[in-house]
Amino acid sequence: MQRGVHLPVFATSHIYEGTDNAGSNRDLEGVEFSDAPWLFNAQPGLPNHDDIATQLPAAQGSAARLFAFGMDAWNLVPYLDWLRAHPGSYLPGASGQLTADQFGRVRRVLIWAKFQDGLAKPIGGSLQMDDVPAAAPPTGDSTPPAPDTAVPASSTSSQPAGADQPPPGH
């Protein structure tokens, strides 16, 4: 008896409309894709996607990715200089783990998701296993640091975190 080879099927985020529809997505069973963690409430410290999408049509469906990008742009501005000065550090964002190089180019590390029973669900792992940023900026009071001081502070959390600890959210 000869067995077939099971090969994984991968897709881009375009395969997921941003809302779950088990009936329409049954044919996508097992397909894995990368996407923004906020769509799956997989990024601690951020507002719940479902709660916001219920109140704001701009945060629903395929527009949710643009909404997440806007949230990240707003949150990223105070940290750009800090991220540039601390290679390997990141900011947990709605569109992914955000990092900047010494030139200020921002990159994001996405999460993996997979269709199971017609629903898109996050799974473990990131897209860039060898290049995942090492640390999140510590959080504290809402005052940005003076130049040449240790780290920036977040206005949404009072939990301190060391540079080598996993992200506590923001």
Per-residue pLDDT of 96-155, as tens digits, reads 999 998 888 999 999 999 999 999 999 975 544 344 445 556 555 444 443 333 333 333
Single pTM value for the model: 0.68
Grade residue 1 by pLDDT with cuts at 50, 70 and 90. low
| For range 6-23, the mean pLDDT | 88
Identity of residue 144: P
SS3 112: strand
Which segment of 55-59, 67-71, 108-112, 138-142 scores lowest on mean pLDDT? 138-142
Which candidate, 150, 153, 146, places its Cα nearest to that of 170?
A: 153
